Amino acid sequence: MGYDYDKVEVPADGTPIQVVDEDADELDVPENPIVPIIHGDGIGKDVGPAAQKVLEAAANATGRDISWMRVYAGESGREKYDENLPDDTVNAIDEHRVAIKGPLTTPVGAGFRSLNVALRQTLDFYSNVRPTYYLDGVPSPMKAPEEMDMVTFRENTEDVYAGIEWEEGTEEVEQVREFVEDEMGFDDVMHDGPIGIGIKPITEFGSKRLVRKAIDYALEHDRDKVTLVGKGNIMKFTEGQFTEWGMEVAEEEYPDEDVFAAPDSLWEEQDDIDVPENAVMVESRLADAMLQWMQLRTDEFSVLAMPNLNGDYLSDAAGAQIGGLGIAPGANFGDARVLAEPVHGSAPKRAGQNKANPSAMILSGRLMFDYMGWKDAGDLVRDAVEETISSGKVTYDLERHLDDAEKLGTDEYAEAIVDNIETLS
């Protein structure tokens, strides 16, 4: 594609990742790829460089190298370009297909939308993917946190997060109110006085490609179940339709021996369902019930697929079960493109103190490696993080909940992980 960049340079010693087949999600990843990285705002200034150091060590330990391309957004974007999301950054991620970012803070005030959402929508990263698994040694509120091993696929571009809404007191919101009351006949729910109105779009196109991505992931990673999650008993024509379209994907696009669309059933009846051996079962569950089932029947779920807002709530709740968002990784998948990012926010009060836990961004890098086909490097990252934590070498957020742990700063913790990478490799 070959963009011209204004204030960043493409590393001369790296090789660009090439697209083999966008529809098939196939990339040609060299041994020395160029990977754009945004360190991020707030604690991103601490965890970004720490994660970069660890990921580079894992790549080197498996005979590879990464040519990092530093790009900017949020506070660093304003400092360098006087804008939150410069074209250089968008173009770099678009051209090089694989990237990682730290947390970004959206400026307060009307007219500013989430920078994370803007990146996802601009580059069509339509699947927000969050693996949730337990690492030995992490303090958790659950009796058996090790039972959690789940991957959430959250639709990224639609639902209320599409940002189609109107502010109270504006001419636009009154036009929408008038249309809904007079033209559509919903005059009993608008009420008099100030009102804010938003629209919740759920499309067949968006729903099906998200579910397709989740099923493909389950097939590729030997997972036995995909659960479609929505509140379809109440929002029948949005979240209910999401589930129906998702089931159509399972029923119509895959051979029966690979994917089995389960009929609606109660939990007690699931043992009677005859699923073909080694097939992925696709089922549906109500979103509110899932918040309970994730705790009571944790080990019965593997891959979840859901609309945007539900995915935000449920993935955060899942993260709490394995110790909190400080260790919760994530990434955004598109077609032959990935942008890895931790689940947690920027915590500006902790910025620059060398205290923040970089595990979430490091483990997001593991997810990025997996997407690149570098599973060995990704597994090495996971094992080294777990070895470091289980040995009692942790950052302050974990140390305060543990007995006899050694409190490390962000940099020292990253160095400990690098040491374990060298030992384990």
Cβ of 163: how many Cβ atoms within 10 Å?
A: 12
The residue ranges of DSSP E strands in 318-359, in sequence order, are 331-333, 338-340
Was 396 annotated as part of a binding site? yes
**Residue in this structure with the two tokens 């979240």, named with its chain if needed:** 239
Following CA atoms 366, 337, 209, 90 in sequence, which dihedral angle do they give, to the nearest 10 degrees?
120
Q: Which residues are catalytic?
A: 161, 231, 288, 312
354 marked among binding-site residues: no
Q: Do the annotations mark residue 78 as ligand-binding?
A: no
304 beta partners: 152, 227
84 is in an annotated binding site: no
Q: Report whether 350 belongs to an annotated binding site.
A: no
Whole-number Å distance between alpha carbons of 32 and 223: 31
Q: Which of 48, 95, 52, 35 is nearest to 74 (CA)?
A: 48
Q: Which of 27, 32, 62, 26 is nearest to 376 (CA)?
A: 62
97 is in an annotated binding site: no
| Best CA proximity match to 71, nearest among 103, 35, 44 | 35
Contacts of 123 (CB under 8 A, 6+ apart): 90, 93, 94, 334, 337, 339
Does the annotation list 254 as a binding residue? no
**Residue 45 backbone phi and psi in degrees, to 5:** -65, -25
Question: Amino acid letter at 206?
Answer: G
Express the helix, strand and coil content of the chain in percent, nearest 5 each. Answer: 45, 15, 40
Q: Are 338 and 378 spatial neighbours (Cβ–Cβ below 8 Å)?
A: no
Binding residue per annotation — 425?
Answer: no
Write out the binding residues for NADP(+): 105, 357, 396, 400
Write out the binding residues: 105, 114, 116, 120, 130, 154, 312, 357, 396, 400
Write out the binding residues for Mg(2+): 312
Write out the binding residues for D-threo-isocitrate: 114, 116, 120, 130, 154
